[in-house]
Amino acid sequence: MSDDVDRPEGPQTVRAASANAPGNGGSALMEVEHLRVLFALKRGIIVDRTIGHVHAVDDVSFTLREGETLGVVGESGCGKTTLIRTLVRLTTPTGGVIRFRGRDITSASRRELEPIRRQMQMVFQDPQASLNPRKRVNQILSTPLRLRGVAKDRTEAETQELLSRVGLQAEHLNRYPHEFSGGQRQRIGIARALAVDPKLILLDEPVSALDVSIQAQVINLLEELQDEFRLSYIFVAHDLSVVRHVSDRIIVMYLGKLMEVSPAGELYDKPIHPYTSALLGAIPIPDPAENRARERPLVTGEPPNPINPPLGCRFHTRCPRATDVCAQVEPQLTEYAGGHLAACHHPQNVTAEEIAAAVRSDSSPISSGTDTPVVLG
């Protein structure tokens, strides 16, 4: 890997700082302000008419810090993939601002994006589909290496070094993707991302398709690489059990909106948003007796249609704590102690004193109200 001279402090330093003060550790690598992605729904045989929009990402704001791992969780269809595809500009945003290392890239042209895209790489859920089946590993890795400016006579040595860094051997160089196991293929996907010497890797459910034991190996590898190459990660997963150990902070999404943003440990110990509790309740516990005995919060029904999302709090149609205000006023994103944010009128696990000390976050959606949260009796 080439040594980038302007790289800031290492991930260990930032991780320690961000765990204690997640809003303040490290400098901002990526800033996202009021990001919206609406997909037009078309109908018509001769002339396409727009008959509605899918609200895939709807007024989302957050900051990713250098060296940080930000987990993103939520049910299928809540907008996780759309969010990260938009951050690397594979999907065009409808509104809002994306800044990478201080530079506004929201409307950057293809040409302007080229050098920036090299610093942001994606790793996909299905390594089989994301690797070209007609290319040998050798070719898959040498193309991005050359993009990085590695001389032709150095490419083979660098390719071998990359392979060894992700736990594969030199004899794998001449194989095609279908000649590997799922875990090995994901290692190749990671090696391909590393080849351009990125600062940020966006991982879209990188281990969901793998066996549990292989998941742990790939996650360990990602953690080692983060320390070695001073990487930041945005790590998308369906459920909270996967992101628990890798994330410094976690974002919980529901129907395109942020429900909760919290330091990872605190989210598990003290979830403030009822939806987060429901996601935690869905994590299976290995001991069947303990699993049966625990009280799971009730969340009934399917998520509403993202073409016509509910007014007020998007979660109110399924929330066991909902009251009248929830159906009428969108809750602001409120910042509690320790940089823990939640968008809920009736937060859990917080005292009246903690609510009194909390403030409206700058990340609150523009359409949200200013009602202060209240503890339910």
Q: What are the residues binding ligand ATP (CB under 6 A)?
A: 39, 54, 56, 74, 76-82, 238, 306
206 binds, among ligand SF4, ligand ATP, Mg ion, none (CB under 5 to 8 A by kind): none
| Cα atoms in the Cβ-side hemisphere of radius 13 Å centred on 158 | 23
Q: Which of 117, 56, 105 is nearest to 82 (CA)?
A: 56
How many angstroms separate the CA atoms of 67 and 15, rounded?
A: 7
Q: Which of 18, 61, 69, 81 binds Mg ion (CB under 5 A)?
A: 81
Provide, rounded to whole angstroms, the least separation between the CB of residue 271 and ligand SF4: 11
CB-nearer residue toward ligand ATP: 197 or 205: 205
**Distance in Å, CB of 373 to ligand SF4, minimum:** 8
Signed CA dihedral, 223, 229, 230, 231: sign only: negative
Find the binding residues for Mg ion in span 192-251 (CB under 5 A).
none
* Binding piece for Mg ion, criterion CB under 5 A, among 77-85, 157-165, 277-285, 359-367: 77-85
Residues 6+ apart with CB under 8 A from 290: none
Please choose which of ligand ATP, Mg ion, ligand SF4, none residue 67 contacts, taking the beta carbon within 5 to 8 angstroms, the exact cut-off set by kind. none
Instruction: Report what 373 binds from ligand SF4, ligand ATP, Mg ion, none; CB cut-off 5-8 Å by kind.
Output: none
Q: How far is residue 64 CA from its own chain's centroid?
A: 10
Contact present, 47 and 85 (Cβ < 8 Å) = no
- What order of strands is seen across the sheet that includes strand 200-204? 120-123, 200-204, 232-237, 69-73, 249-254, 257-263, 340-342, 334-336, 359-360
How far is it, in rounded angstroms, from Cα 267 to Cα 319? 18
Determine how β-strand 200-204 pairs with β-strand 232-237: parallel
Smallest gap from Cβ 346 to ligand ATP, in A, equals 25
CB 340 within 8 A of CB 272: yes
Residue 236 C-beta: closest distance to ligand ATP, Å: 7
Task: Find the shortest distance in angstroms from Cβ 366 to ligand ATP.
Answer: 20
345 touches, from ligand ATP, ligand SF4, Mg ion, none (C-beta below 5 to 8 Å by class): ligand SF4
CB atoms within 10 A of CB 364: 22
Which residue is closest to Mg ion by CB?
81
Q: How far is the CB of 365 from ligand SF4 (least distance, A)?
A: 13
Q: Quote the CA–CA distance of 168 and 141 in Å, as a whole number.
A: 13
Nearer Cβ to ligand ATP (82/364): 82
Q: Which is nearer to ligand SF4, 166 or 342 (CB)?
A: 342
Structure tokens at 223: 């953690």
Please report how close the Cβ of residue 279 comes to ligand ATP at its closest, in angstroms: 12
Q: Of ligand SF4, Mg ion, ligand ATP, none, which one does residue 319 interact with (CB within 5 to 8 Å by kind)?
A: ligand SF4
CB 8 within 8 A of CB 66: yes
Which residue's CB is nearer to ligand SF4, number 242 or number 326?
326
**Number of residues in contact with Mg ion under rule CB under 5 A:** 1
Alpha carbons 370 and 139: distance in angstroms, whole number: 55
List residues near ligand SF4 by CB under 6 A. 273-274, 313, 315-316, 319, 321-322, 326, 331, 344-346
How far is 163 from 109, CA to CA, in rounded Å? Answer: 33
